[in-house]
Amino acid sequence: MTNIAILGFGVVGSGVAKLITDNKNEVTKLGGDDINIKYVLDLRDFPDSPFADRVIHDYSAIVNDPDVSVVIEVMGGSHPAYEYTVAALKAGKSVITSNKEVVANFGDEFLALAKENGVCYRFEAAVGGGIPVISPMISCIGQNKITEVRGILNGTTNYILTQMFTYGQSFDSALRDAQKKGYAESNPDADILGTDACRKTAILTALISGKLLPTSKIHTEGITKIRDNDVSAASKMGATIKLVGRGISKDGELFAMVAPFIVSGGMPLSGVSGVYNAVEVIADPLGNVMFYGQGAGAGATASAVVGDLMQVMTSGTNCSAPVFKKCEDMLSFDEFSSKHYLALCKGCYGKVIEKIQNCTVIENGDEYAVITPVISEGELASILDELDITPKSHIRIL
């Protein structure tokens, strides 16, 4: 019998309990043992839940119970998730989480502590919801040289953008729908401002480089500034707009960012719609590979958490785990180069295309969409500064 404790009984925690119960035969067969949800820790009581009798409010009962071998932390937030994780690992319990904030902030420390104590720390559900991406990146493609990992990492924003592009739905009403469906963070600012995608980008970048960048150093833009005109300009280009997190590890340089990107219709990421997420890995000699699936929601996230539980139950102390080291040494945002879309008024687009050679111009209602060749952020900013022009929109092109 494997006794587990679930910390947090919200969307994910209750989804985990439901999956373990509903799929008892499958999980017992794969995990090789019966699973007993011995405790559910939450501030609230759940009198109507089938797990009402396991609900406790005092973490020390869990950490001091030698029968509990696995703690599933699905509370979200950094604290007390950090303190609870440290205490569990030091007590010789494996920890599984879906909490990207705590992994992005302290993953290096937890992985080292797990190793020291001969237990596992796993976080498949922290990136891409239900998509198996972290384990395959470690176990199946880690032998490649990975130069870039990029993805649509937030289901809420992808849902909103899809509704705006495909159905002309307003931003606010699409956000409300995403919240109702249980995709959004408790504070949806973390979704729409790109913070959630930034945490996941930090984790993916650490997986390809071993270096955990502070999220505060990762240039992050959300989707709140995307206008109807940008949607029509992208459509005219045969493209769409996606919130993309990118981690690049090339020629000894490391770089990460999160921002809306114009993604041409021919690229695999352009077809990722609704709450679906995708992570594309560029690897040598493998080439491009893309992981795709539901990035949020109770069932999908529970699937990844319980997948980790299966691994912990069958691997014992022999978990295949990455090593993360905190690192602040990365290419500056000014040095990052890409093509850019600039939405410019009729009076100013001429000055820009005179200054930047080989731009493409698309007429878009009462403004012009100027597509630049590849140019660095710093160089473009200084040209716009010199011309004293602030574009109505500025979106990078993937």
Catalytic residue positions?
200
Q: Which of 94, 156, 209, 393 binds ligand HSE (CB under 6 A)?
A: 156
Q: Which of 13, 76, 107, 155 binds ligand HSE (CB under 6 A)?
A: 155
When the beta carbons of 198 and 319 are compared against ligand HSE, the nearer one is 198
Q: How far is the CB of 301 from ligand HSE (least distance, A)?
A: 7
Q: How far is the CB of 198 from ligand HSE (least distance, A)?
A: 12
Q: How many residues does the chain have?
A: 398
Give the binding range for ligand HSE (CB under 6 A) out of 64-72, 89-97, 182-190, 203-211. Answer: 182-190
Q: How far is the CB of 107 from ligand HSE (least distance, A)?
A: 15
When the beta carbons of 108 and 191 are compared against ligand HSE, the nearer one is 191
Q: Show the site string, 230-259: x = touches ligand HSE by CB under 6 A, - = not.
A: ------------------------------
Token couple for 393: 């929109």
Find, among 1, 115, 7, 121, the residue nearest to 61 by Cα.
7
When the beta carbons of 196 and 367 are compared against ligand HSE, the nearer one is 196
In Å, how far are 20, 40, 348 from 68, measured between CA atoms?
16, 12, 66
List binders of ligand HSE among 184-223 (CB under 6 A): 184-185, 191, 196
Q: How far is CA 218 from the centre of its chain?
A: 13
Token couple for 48: 């109507």
Give the binding range for ligand HSE (CB under 6 A) out of 149-157, 244-252, 361-369, 370-378. Answer: 149-157
Distance CA 43, CA 56 (A): 8
Reading across the β-sheet that carries 35-41, which strands appear in turn? 55-56, 35-41, 2-7, 68-73, 94-97, 121-122
If binding means CB under 6 A, how many residues of this protein chain bind ligand HSE? 11
DSSP 151-214: EE--HHHHHHHHHHHHH---HHHHHHHHHHTT-S-SSTHHHHTSHHHHHHHHHHHHHHHSEE--
Give the binding range for ligand HSE (CB under 6 A) out of 168-176, 179-187, 214-222, 247-255. Answer: 179-187
Q: How far is the CB of 259 from ligand HSE (least distance, A)?
A: 16
Q: How far is the CB of 184 from ligand HSE (least distance, A)?
A: 5
Torsion of CA 234, 236, 240, 245, to 10 degrees: -40
Is residue 101 within the footprint of ligand HSE (CB under 6 A)? Answer: no
When the beta carbons of 148 and 191 are compared against ligand HSE, the nearer one is 191
Distance CA 336, CA 371 (A): 17
Is residue 296 within the footprint of ligand HSE (CB under 6 A)? Answer: yes
Q: How far is the CB of 129 from ligand HSE (least distance, A)?
A: 5
Is residue 308 within the footprint of ligand HSE (CB under 6 A)? Answer: no
**Burial annotation 140-161 (CB, 10 A radius, 16+ → b, else e):** eeeebebebbbbbbbbbbbbbb
Distance CA 142, CA 368 (A): 44
The site for ligand HSE (CB under 6 A) is made up of: 129, 154-156, 183-185, 191, 196, 295-296
